């Protein structure tokens, strides 16, 4: 004898989306994407790990719940990525996320000196045009060896800029690890530093 199981996908006229990794920004983006797709405010972020969705009465009445859930499931949402630098001291492996930045800093390690400079660049549109004035940052990273002075500059740089400079000077992974640890302690590394 077989009997079908009664499953309740909807409880109190709502469903919930549970995020794999809790993040307030991602939860808000998910709710916004759902509301934009449905065309009315049916979703709201409860906290950093869940989003509640009120199933519209018309969807419930028509019996289109599975299609409704499928529509939500197919939405593209860019999750908020936490800036991280992962270091494995045993192997000397360093993995740096793309959104990691470094605040103004001067680095001196052994005989190595690095300066990070960021200069504001203003781009003006032509007179009577519809363009807007835009300010961007031109970042330069300079490095040298056995210099007697180290100068600090205003601005910020990406870790890619610093890594490119360190690689050009053939700095060992152990020294790079020590530099990243010192940057974090100084408060100049805008990322979570994970040492495994």
Per-residue pLDDT of 165-186, as tens digits, reads: 677 667 778 888 888 888 888 8
Last residue of a domain, one of 73, 94, 122: 73
Of the candidates 8, 85, 90, 72, which has an alpha carbon nearest to the alpha carbon of residue 35?
72
Last residue of a domain, one of 52, 73, 94: 73
Any residues with CB less than 8 A from the CB of 122 and at least 6 apart, and which? 133, 134, 135
Last residue of a domain, one of 23, 39, 73: 73
What pLDDT is recorded for position 33?
Answer: 96
The confidence band for 146, taking pLDDT boundaries of 50, 70 and 90, is low
Q: Is the pTM of this model over 0.75?
A: no
Residues 171 and 88 in one domain: yes
Angstrom distance (rounded) from CA 179 to CA 194? 14
Asked, for residue 23, whether it belongs to a domain, the answer is yes
Residues 151 and 180 in one domain: yes
What pLDDT is recorded for position 118?
Answer: 59
Any residues with CB less than 8 A from the CB of 40 and at least 6 apart, and which? 56
Number of domains in the chain: 2
Residues 96 and 64 in one domain: no
What pLDDT is recorded for position 47?
Answer: 93
Structure tokens at 163: 């890594």
What pLDDT is recorded for position 150?
Answer: 43
Average pLDDT over residues 123-141: 70
Angstrom distance (rounded) from CA 9 to CA 34? 18
For 85-99, write each residue's pLDDT tens digit. 888 888 888 888 877
92: domain range? 84-195
Residues 25 and 122 in one domain: no
Which carries the bigger pLDDT value, residue 52 or residue 149? 52
Structure tokens at 116: 């990070």
Residues 53 and 115 in one domain: no
Residues 97 and 57 in one domain: no
The confidence band for 151, taking pLDDT boundaries of 50, 70 and 90, is very low
């Amino acid at each position: 004898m077989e009997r079908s199981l009664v499953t309740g996908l909807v409880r109190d006229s709502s469903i919930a989306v549970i995020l794999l990794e809790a993040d307030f920004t991602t939860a808000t983006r998910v709710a916004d994407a759902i509301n934009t797709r449905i065309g009315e405010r049916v979703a709201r972020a409860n906290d950093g790990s869940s989003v509640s969705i009120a199933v519209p009465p018309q969807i419930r009445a028509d019996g289109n719940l599975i299609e409704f859930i499928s529509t939500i499931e197919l939405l593209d949402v860019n999750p908020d990525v936490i800036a991280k630098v992962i270091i494995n001291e045993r192997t000397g492996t360093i993995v740096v996320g793309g959104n990691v930045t470094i605040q103004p800093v001067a680095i001196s390690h052994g005989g190595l000196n690095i300066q990070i400079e960021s200069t504001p660049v203003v781009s003006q549109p032509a007179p009577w045009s519809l363009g807007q004035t835009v300010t961007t940052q031109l970042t330069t990273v300079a490095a040298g060896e056995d210099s007697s002075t180290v100068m600090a500059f205003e601005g910020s740089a990406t870790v890619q800029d610093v890594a490119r400079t360190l690689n050009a000077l053939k700095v060992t992974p152990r020294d790079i690890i020590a530099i990243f640890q010192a940057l974090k302690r100084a408060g100049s590394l805008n990322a979570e530093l994970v040492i495994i």
